[in-house]
Amino acid sequence: MGKKELETRLIHSYFDRKQHYGSLAHPLYQTSTFVFDDAQQGEARFSGNESGYIYSRLGNPTVSELEKKMADLEEGEEAIAFASGMAAVSGVLIHLLKAGDHILISEGVYGCTFGFLEMVKEKFNIDFDLMEMNSENMIRTMIRPETKVLYVETPINPTMKLVDLEMVIKIAKEEGIRVVVDNTFCSPYLQQPLTLGADYVIHSATKYISGHGDVIAGIAVGPAEEMETIRMTTQKDIGGVLGPFDAWLLLRGLKTLALRMDRHCYNARYVFDLLKDNPNVKNIFYPGDPNFSQHELAKRQMKDFGGLISFELQGGKEAAQRFMNELKVIQVAVSLGDAESLIQHPATMTHSVVPEVERKKMGITNSLVRLSVGLESPKDVWNDMKQAFDKTYAKV
């Protein structure tokens, strides 16, 4: 048999039940350390002359299984599981950058990624520029001799702008620059940047990979030799490792990723079709909108359009917050990709760390809200939004 389809690999890849007493479910190795047969074996493992587990900060069977599965799903060589999405972001960027280097970032990047970049700029003289990566000429004019990384979110949080990965990767290869793609909004089910030539893929596994709102975790996938360097330096010494129980929860969540993503995408389309005619909505940012400026790119680059919709409401921040407060089914919370529909106000929540001038350049206005459409009945999600619209604008 050839390579199995992704839906099958989500459930079966890298799990040999014979090694685990025939257990149908993934075993959980909830241990901090591992016992050696004797002192000589301990020496051999620490020296690298014998493979095997030592201490769960350096490796754990449950975590290793998750890493192998994620590398397979992203069509990469090796993956590392981190304690959070930001641990994955910082781990990869610290590995790739040094003092004096420069990084180009897609405009609208996640607020904590922006905060991390501000910190390393101040403390370690690693410069960065935010930019709309929407043309080859624009990107080339922003590249400096010291530019080492092009860092891309696509879709971008929360404006849903896309970056043409084939274009960016082509430029980067010609210029000898590494490409890092945050694939959180898509998961490997909707998009696989490594197959297009990206060097690294990063996930906040807290989101769609988990799918149940009960884990904080990150994943990075990339070239085996470099990932091993990250594992044994940046991750080991800074310590942003994932615990085995969280890895076990992610392995469980991955089994339903395909089903969940299909439902998220279906529900988001349902909500969009009704939202687009609402007179209280000024602008909608959703790749599945035929009028979305990058709709054709979304069709080419993504398997489906995802479960996120951002939109601006008439009446600014006050109306946006009033609308959110009237919701009953949809929960006011940051994060995304959970079974529950979640809504948040980026300007005062996820992107509040970003200076207002930069937020406006990113397109993050005070009237913008971001909706992560969950797995509930789409009728109930829309009815909840409709009653919130009615109550909000009845009070104006």
Catalytic residue among 69, 178, 207, 370: 207
370 belongs to the catalytic site: no
Rounded Cα gap, residues 138 and 197, in angstroms: 21
Largest Cα separation within the chain, whole Å, is 76
Contact (CB, 8 A) for 63 and 247: yes
Rounded Cα gap, residues 162 and 292, in angstroms: 10
H helix intervals, 143-241: 165-175, 187-190, 224-230, 236-238
Contact (CB, 8 A) for 259 and 109: no
Rounded Cα gap, residues 305 and 10, in angstroms: 20
Catalytic residue among 9, 57, 299, 317: 57
Give the residues across from 283 on adjacent strands. 312
37 belongs to the catalytic site: no
Q: Please give the single-letter amino acid code of residue 130.
A: L
Catalytic residue among 72, 101, 164, 182: 182
Catalytic residue among 29, 69, 72, 110: 110
User: Which residue do the tokens 């459409």 mark?
Assistant: 373
200 belongs to the catalytic site: no
Instruction: Check residue 242 and report its DSSP letter.
Output: P
57 belongs to the catalytic site: yes
Q: Please give the single-letter amino acid code of residue 225.
A: E
Contact (CB, 8 A) for 108 and 97: no
Instruction: Work out whether the CA dihedral 32, 225, 83, 20 comes out positive or negative.
Output: negative
Q: How far is CA 95 from CA 91, 114, 167, 228, 270, in A?
A: 6, 17, 25, 11, 42
Q: Is 2 exposed, middle or buried (CB count within 10 Å of its CB: 0-12, 13-18, 19+)? A: exposed
Active site residues: 57, 110, 182, 207
